[in-house]
Amino acid sequence: MITVNSVLENVAQNEKLREEYKTLCQRGQGEKITISRLESRRVRMRKTTDKGTDIGLILEPGTVLRNGDVLYHTKDKMIVIELEPENVAILTFKPETAMDDELFEIAVKVGHAIGNLHRPIKVDGNNIIVPIQADSEIELLNRVLALVLEHLTISNAKMVFEPDEGTHIHEHQ
């Protein structure tokens, strides 16, 4: 078993490392560990890579694993974290929504509704992305945001979700 005590780098943030990982994958030497976003906050766990390598994580408290984090790297092997895609709701402000007091009121109501769900968020351009456990939560969002739906569209997708820093509040499950 390989024991890992820290994240080395991230292939998404280092182009040279990303290319090396692609090359190793082509040779069958690139490996990945797939974890859920909720597991990404665990500092102790034992996992098996997609190629069967047993790996034990004993990370510093407060470590959060990100999609693309490199856990192990030699000239013959690289092991990378892959976050599982999950269902998310995407709330998009419509282009015609004015940036004034009305928008502020809408933003506060959206923030309040999402805050009551105790979910982390990611703001991406004009989108607020929130993880969901079931499609029925789209209906819930439509109900709790009924007063501002003329300014929003709510859709769902499946994607890797990494919350914005500082939004990893506790979740109800």
Instruction: Report the C-alpha gap between 160 and 131 in whole angstroms.
Output: 10
- The Cα–Cα gap between 77 and 72 comes to 7
CA angle 95, 97, 103 (to 5 degrees): 135
Question: What domains lie within the chain, and their CATH numbers?
Answer: 2-83 (2.60.260.20), 86-159 (3.30.70.260)
Secondary element (H or E) of residue 22: helix 15-26
Give the integer Cα–Cα distance in Å for 154 and 151. Answer: 10
At 92-116, the pLDDT tens digits run 777 766 566 666 667 767 777 777 7
Under the banding of pLDDT at 50, 70 and 90, the label for residue 68 is: very high
- Output the pTM of the full model: 0.69
42 versus 107: which is more confidently predicted? 42
9-36: per-residue pLDDT in tens? Answer: 999 999 999 999 999 999 999 999 999 9
Q: pLDDT band for position 167 (50/70/90)?
A: low
Please list the residues that pair with 128 across neighbouring strands: 91, 123
pLDDT tens-digit profile of 113-128? 777 777 888 888 778 8
pLDDT of residue 99: 60
The CA dihedral of 18, 23, 28, 31, to the nearest 10 degrees, is -10
Task: Tell whether the model's pLDDT for residue 76 goes beyond 80.
Answer: yes
Give me the pLDDT at residue 130, please. 87
Query: Picking from 1-10, 16-25, 43-52, 125-134, which range would have the lowest pLDDT averaged per residue?
Result: 125-134
pLDDT score of 127? 84
- Residue with the bigger pLDDT between 28 and 164: it is 28
